[in-house]
Amino acid sequence: MKKEIITENAPKAIGPYSQGVRTSGGFIFASGQIPLDPQTGELVAGGIAEQTERVLENLKAVLEAAECSLEDVVKTTVYLKDIEDFAAMNTVYAKYFKVCPPARVCVEVARLPKDALIEIDCVASEGQNYSY
């Protein structure tokens, strides 16, 4: 069973997909976010740092709509238009994932929607209490 996650605080889906989906197993799957301003639908001005921040704020909004947070993220995939932006992206990314950063994949791609420099998707696990 699954339930769609919808929020006005992140860009609307521009195709036949959901901003996010919650499963009965307690996982949240957030669709890839590019650096669109949720109010204007336009790419944010600036370079990779500004775009990374906007993408992570968009993901944060989707997770908050699912009553989760970035602390619940267990996996991300980062798509970069230019792998040379890796270090600058990492600097911003590290500010959002300070404690137990999620597992991650980062790849360079030929092109992203609206010629964005970055896209990130994620998987979160609803507020589980783990003991090891």
| Catalytic choice (68, 100, 106, 122) | 106
Q: How far is 87 from 89, CA to CA, in rounded Å?
A: 5
Q: How far is 32 from 88, CA to CA, in rounded Å?
A: 19
Q: How far is 103 from 41, CA to CA, in rounded Å?
A: 29
Backbone phi, psi, residue 59, to 5°: -60, -40
- Provide the 8-state DSSP code for 26: S
Please indicate whether residue 106 is annotated as part of the active site: yes
Backbone phi, psi, residue 68, to 5°: -125, 180
Residue 23's closest CA among 102, 130, 125, 127? Answer: 125
Backbone phi, psi, residue 114, to 5°: 60, 20
**Catalytic annotation, residues:** 106
